Amino acid sequence: MLSKAQNKHIRSLTQQKFRNEYRQFIAEGHKIALEWLQSAWHLKTIVATENWINKYRDDIRRHPEAELIVASESEIATVSSLQAPGEVLVVAVLPDSAPISDKISWCIALDGIQDPGNMGTIIRIADWFGISDLVCSPGCVDVYNPKVVQSAMGGHLRVRIHHRDLVNFLPSLNIPIYAAVLGGTDVYEVGRPASGVLVIGNESRGISTEVADIASHLVTIPRKGGAESLNAGVSAGILCALMLPR
């Protein structure tokens, strides 16, 4: 059963300041928690119903470093950020900052992405297309926000996430920088470059002037209808599908 102190601690991790302070975050729900359990990621706590533990005891044994807490579904609901809480929740340890390879071929850079759903979707897109590195500007939403973790569907396990000042960092990669904007070159004319950085901008403001100025190419998904703009996650998916080498 969850103690009051454990309950308070897990609930605190829905706030970024406590995630940063404790260096921990939440991954919950059957599918997502199971992905973390089947990985080598360092876990702090596993909270699950007795029924769930009995079904997945072999996966739980992979993580002797984690405290295992047997809890009822109603107890899990008190610490869950989901509308429909499940039978399992894990508390994982935030990773150390990882260096980015100087031989990178493709990566995605995010300039001020604020919506957790968009952030999680883009991490998932990077995972789908085999893009190993994602670079976030300082103005982006926390990538370990529970909603981001939920919508990324395990993408954090396979995509290295970096935090950098894009203006100073991206040119150092020495590969083309493709900024997604309105009024750029038709993406169907760009082809499939061997390498590049795909920059996706803020949901309402787009890419900052400073980042646009360092881009080697401005690209656009041509519009046929009357929609004012595309969702950032949708744009990232379309551009990856059309630009990445097959």
pLDDT for position 4: 94
What is the pTM (predicted TM-score) of this model?
Answer: 0.95
Beta-strand runs (E) in the chain: 24-28, 43-48, 67-70, 88-93, 106-111, 133-136, 160-163, 177-186, 196-201, 217-220
> Can you give the pLDDT at residue 98?
81
Q: Above 90 in pLDDT, residue 227? A: no
Distance of alpha carbon 2 from the chain centroid: 28
Place 241 in a pLDDT band, splitting at 50, 70 and 90.
very high
pLDDT digits 0-9 by tens, 22-64:
999 999 999 999 999 999 999 999 999 999 999 999 999 999 9
Q: What does the pLDDT read at residue 102?
A: 77
Strand order in the sheet with 106-111: 160-163, 133-136, 106-111, 196-201, 177-186, 217-220
Mean pLDDT, residues 212-219: 98
Instruction: Tell me the domain boundaries of the chain.
Output: 4-93, 106-243
User: How confident is the model at residue 223, as a pLDDT?
Assistant: 93
Superfamily holding 4-93: Ribosomal protein L30/S12 (3.30.1330.30)
Contact 91, 45 (CB under 8 A): yes
Query: What local confidence, expressed as pLDDT, does residue 191 receive?
Result: 95
Give the chain's mean pLDDT: 96
Q: What share of the chain is helix, strand, coil (3-state, %, to 5)?
A: 40, 25, 40
Please check whether the two domains, 4-93 and 106-243, share a CATH topology.
no
Strand partners, 24: 93
What pLDDT is recorded for position 228? 84
Q: Which fold has domain 106-243?
A: Alpha/beta knot (3.40.1280)
Please check whether residue 219 is in contact with residue 188, taking contact to mean a CB–CB distance below 8 angstroms.
no
What is the rounded distance in angstroms from the CA atom of residue 131 to the CA atom of residue 236? Answer: 12
70 pLDDT higher than 80: yes
Instruction: Determine the residue type at 161.
Output: I
What six digits make up the tokens of 148? 């981001």
